[in-house]
């Protein structure tokens, strides 16, 4: 079972008036098969954590460690991280001119698997995964992210998740901007991947509504650049009722 271990992670971004520390000592262990919800107020650093784990160049790690089965993730390039099994849904939020969804996914799968999937099997795999997400087959021929609606972007993320089968999946605000039907379909996709028991999921979200569909094993409250409380699924219910005020006013945030 793969284990991602984040220890005392400190991360800064380059702001106008010099470096600014956003992550202030994050400790978290995620094992394959587990689902962790990271919940917190806007601006608390949740996306910074997600991007840092994926190796986004904008974020500078100034302290701490991230290990995947003892291997130093922070030393790995973005591609090496993907190959090692760390998946960030927003990894490719940009438009990729002239590259169809179908080709993009095959290239990504080739990078992760170390060899190109056999074309006929691949086409079948993509078709089935798209059908499960109730996506129009024509979507496969569209250019990546070009004119995608919010909902299409999210489905494309979950499609990647289903096809790339990572060990650790980081889903940042997968629920934002989805209507109820799309939220259900996307959640079912995440649950399908989860039910294999082979992915550890970090579900980053501001809102509790996706947790009606996906029951996390652990809930962590993120405030002021670190985890300030951890619990089971019941912690999400508490947050739904009481919000984040207690954590922010308590001085946990800056």
Q: How far is the CB of 25 from Mg ion (least distance, A)?
A: 3
Query: What does the alpha-carbon distance between residue 161 and residue 12 come to, in Å, rounded to a whole number?
Result: 28
- Order of all β-strands in the sheet with 218-223: 86-88, 168-172, 200-205, 35-39, 218-223, 226-231
Site stretch for ligand ADP (CB under 6 A), options 39-47, 80-88, 151-159, 187-195: 39-47
Contact with ligand ADP (CB under 6 A): which of 19, 20, 195, 232?
20
Count the site residues for ligand ADP by CB under 6 A.
12
Considering the rule CB under 6 A, would residue 123 count as an interface residue with ligand ADP?
Answer: no
How many Å apart are CA 89 and CA 102, to the nearest integer? Answer: 17
Nearer to ligand ADP, 29 or 47 (CB): 47
Residue (of 169, 145, 189, 140) closest to 82 by Cα position: 169
Rule CB under 6 A: say whether 45 interacts with ligand ADP.
yes
Q: Which region, judged by CB under 6 A, interacts with ligand ADP, from 44-52, 90-98, 121-129, 134-142?
A: 44-52
Helix ranges (H only) for the chain are: 46-54, 78-84, 101-113, 119-132, 150-164, 180-195, 234-242, 245-249
| CA gap 174, 131 in Å, rounded | 19
CA angle 21, 22, 23 (to 5 degrees): 105
Residue 231 binds which of Mg ion, ligand ADP, none (CB < 5-8 A, kind-dependent)? none
Residue 208: name its binding partner from ligand ADP, Mg ion, none (Cβ under 5 to 8 Å by kind). none
Binding site for Mg ion (CB under 5 A): 8, 25, 46-47
Shortest Å distance, C-beta 22 to ligand ADP: 4
Indicate the SS3 state at residue 30. Answer: strand
Choosing from 44, 91, 201, 205, the residue that interacts with ligand ADP (CB under 6 A) is 44
Residues that bind ligand ADP (CB under 6 A): 13, 15, 20, 22, 40, 42-48
């Amino acid at each position: 079972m793969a284990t991602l271990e984040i220890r005392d992670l400190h991360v800064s971004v380059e702001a106008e008036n010099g470096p600014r520390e956003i992550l202030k000592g994050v400790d978290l262990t995620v094992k394959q098969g587990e689902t962790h919800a990271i919940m917190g107020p806007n601006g608390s650093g949740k996306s910074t954590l997600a991007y840092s784990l994926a190796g986004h160049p904008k974020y500078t790690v100034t302290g701490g460690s991230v290990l995947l089965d003892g291997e130093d993730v922070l030393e790995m390039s973005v591609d090496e991280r993907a190959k090692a099994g760390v998946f960030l849904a927003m990894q490719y939020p940009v438009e990729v001119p002239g590259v169809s969804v179908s080709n993009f996914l095959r290239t990504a799968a080739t990078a992760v698997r170390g060899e190109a999937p056999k074309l006929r099997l691949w086409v079948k795999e993509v078709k089935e995964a798209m059908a499960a997400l109730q996506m129009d087959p024509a979507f496969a021929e569209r250019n990546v992210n070009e004119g995608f609606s919010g909902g299409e972007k999210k489905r494309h993320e979950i499609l990647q998740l289903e096809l790339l089968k990572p060990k650790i999946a980081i889903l940042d605000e997968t629920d934002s901007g989805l209507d109820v039907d799309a939220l259900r379909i996307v959640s079912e996709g995440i649950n399908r991947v989860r039910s294999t028991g082979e992915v550890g999921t970090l579900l980053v979200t501001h809102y509790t509504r996706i947790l009606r569909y996906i029951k996390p094993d652990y809930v962590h409250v993120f405030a002021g650049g670190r985890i300030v409380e951890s619990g089971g699924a019941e912690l999400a219910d508490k947050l739904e009722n009481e919000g984040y005020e207690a954590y922010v006013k308590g001085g946990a945030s800056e």
